[in-house]
Structure 1
Amino acid sequence: MRDLLNSIHPVRAISPAAAVADNTPIVSQIIDTAGYESLTFLILIGALADADAAFAVSLTHGDAANLSDGVAVPAANILGGLANANFTFSDDDKVRKVGYLGSKRYVRLTITPANNTGNAFVSALALLGAGRFRPTSNPPA
């Protein structure tokens, strides 16, 4: 079937916001994977003003709703690899993706800038898939 709409559930991870102009980590909402078998983060990169900035992507997971038990996701539980999700100043207006394969209920994405003194516009979407109950709600709840 060509129907993707009824089997995915998009969740805001990092809202579009004012540009980040320093090295403060950009941290997503904690994503609850209950009821879904897959999770992919889509990182939306806007304008990146600094000519030498680099952005490292990491994932944290745990079973506590506030991620007080959060630890770095092992490489074996990451689809696509973190290296492919990382980006630099030359990646204006591109998209990166990274998937989660782990068994923990809660997951969070962090994007950590380095050498960033210019404006960086970054947002992210968490795309939950393979829901146990279909069709998924539209609009997403």
Structure 2
Amino acid sequence: MRDLTHSIGPVQAVKPVVLTATDTSAAVDLAGFNAAGIVVSTGAIAGSGDFTAKLQESDTTTSGDFDDVAAGDLIGSFPASLAADSTVKVGYVGNKRYVRTVVTKNSGTSIAASVVVIRGHADTRPVA
């Protein structure tokens, strides 16, 4: 049996930071992996901050080519509004090569947040 550490490739999409505006991550390449999960972790919310998270997908890294992932290509869902001091996990079962996250500021001041894309079911193991 292989341990989980050698079977996944986590990518920090949004570093732990206090977001005061919408954040769109860089593209995360899923090549060589057959699964992906997204983990959003939040801390304090200031000034009645209202933030939402979503996942986008594309076959290229061109910003204009990304579209929101359809609900049918997600396992679970992102909440209507991110809560303080919480963790949300959502699975991606789509077939595009690249994904990126978008944490949108709808109102208020800020939220402490981070997002990790966990690439799994690697074609080649162990994952470096």
**TM-score higher than 0.5:** yes
Give the number of aligned pairs: 128
Residue in structure 1 matched with residue 98 of structure 2 by the alignment: 106
- Asked if 1:135 corresponds to 2:114, the answer is no
Provide the secondary structure at the position in 2 that maps to 1:68. helix
Name the aligned partner's letter for residue 133 of structure 1: T
- 1:124 aligns with one of 109, 115, 125: 115
- Asked if 1:42 corresponds to 2:34, the answer is no
Q: Stretches of 4+ moved more than 3 A in 1?
A: none
Counting only pairs closer than 5 Å after superposition, residues 1-141 of structure 1 correspond to structure 2 as 1=1, 3-17=3-17, 19-21=18-20, 24-51=21-48, 53-83=49-79, 86-88=80-82, 91-117=83-109, 119-137=110-128
Listed as ranges, the gaps of 5+ residues in structure 1 are none
Matched residues in 2 for 1:50 and 1:80: separation? 28
Change (3 A) 1:67 1:102: farther
Whether the aligned pair in 2 keeps the contact of 1:65 and 1:106 (CA below 8 Å) is: yes
Whether the aligned pair in 1 keeps the contact of 2:11 and 2:118 (CA below 8 Å) is: yes
Listed as ranges, the gaps of 5+ residues in structure 2 are none
Backbone CA RMSD of aligned residues: 1.7
Matched residues in 1 for 2:34 and 2:9: separation? 11
Whether the aligned pair in 1 keeps the contact of 2:53 and 2:102 (CA below 8 Å) is: yes
Name the aligned partner's letter for residue 127 of structure 1: I
Change (3 A) 1:134 1:34: same
Q: When the two structures are superposed, what TM-score results if normalisation uses the length of structure 1?
A: 0.81
Matched residues in 2 for 1:104 and 1:95: separation? 25
